[in-house]
Amino acid sequence: MMEIHCKDCGGNKFDRKEEMYICTSCGREYSAFEVIELTDDVISNQKTFESKKTSITEKSKDFHPKKPLSYYESAVKRNPDDFNAQLNIIYLKAEKAKVTEIIPYIRKMINISPKILNSIKNSHLDEEKEMESIWEVSGIFQITAVTFKNSGDSNTRKMTNDAYAQRVNKEWYLRILELTNLFFTFGDDLNSIFDGKYDELAVNSYKTGIWYYLDIIKLADNQDVHIKKIRHYEDKIRLIEPDFESKLDLKVSKNKSSFFGRLLSRK
């Protein structure tokens, strides 16, 4: 896992309390979104609706629902298009997922993504409320993903102290690969269901997917296939942000300044 440091004291030890991450050195609290920003500037430098992002970040502190899972399951039975109940069910179940359930659960999140977005669209909200609802879905996916990324049980905790051992762990690699699919799919679903109306929010999701992908690209058996997929989503981002800069070459060491980089660039 990429090491992160507290902005106030530089410490690198954090405790998790509900949705907040607390620096053990100085006590500063970080939301899940802020943890992502500390980890890589791919997230922190992206062009987003800052006012909406702040709103979601603040909400994430108090998002944990006061009502039990059974309440939201009953709500969905009464109204299958209740996107708020669907979102709470996703969140509450994710909290209780065991390590062996993480990959199947990410796939469940991928499968329910279009259903939730369609429910939002069919609710006929005004544009501001509609965008806020989409941000909330994206935010819960972000919070859940950052929790899933390095979750471990008593059998794997010994390995988490060794970054290399963690990165060659097959289950960990597949988990991160599924997370990339989650954010790529969410961005594609968003563009498809809302006809490109929220393309900047889709770009935000694509960037998150790329950020996860870059963490595992060197471990891929068939790098060319994965590189092609990353390039595909980078091209989608550039349709909205023409100046977007790729960090893929830095990760795979195929920049043009090297002999192999020049050789590969001719293909």
- What's the average model confidence in pLDDT over 92-110? 87
Residue 15's SS3 state is strand
E strand segments, the chain: 14-17, 20-23, 29-31
50 closest CA partner among 208, 200, 191, 239: 200
Residues contacting 77, CB < 8 A, separation 6+: none
Q: What is the pLDDT of residues 186-197, one digit of tens each?
A: 999 999 999 999
* Strands of the 20-23 sheet, one edge to the other: 14-17, 20-23, 29-31
Q: Which residues contact 39 (CB under 8 A, 6 or more apart)?
A: 2, 4
Q: Which amino acid is at 39?
A: T
How confident is the model over 203-215, as a mean pLDDT? Answer: 92
Burial of 215 (0-12, 13-18, 19+ CB in 10 A): buried
Residue carrying the six token digits 């062996």: 100
Inform me whether the pLDDT recorded for 201 exceeds 80: yes
Provide the pLDDT confidence category of residue 263 given band limits of 50, 70 and 90.
very low
Over residues 151-177, the pLDDT tens digits come to 764 444 444 455 555 545 788 888 899
Query: Could you tell me the pLDDT band of residue 184, with boundaries at 50, 70 and 90?
Result: very high
The yes-or-no verdict on residue 146 having pLDDT over 60 is yes
**Contact assessment for residue 192 and residue 211, using Cβ atoms and an 8 Å cutoff:** no
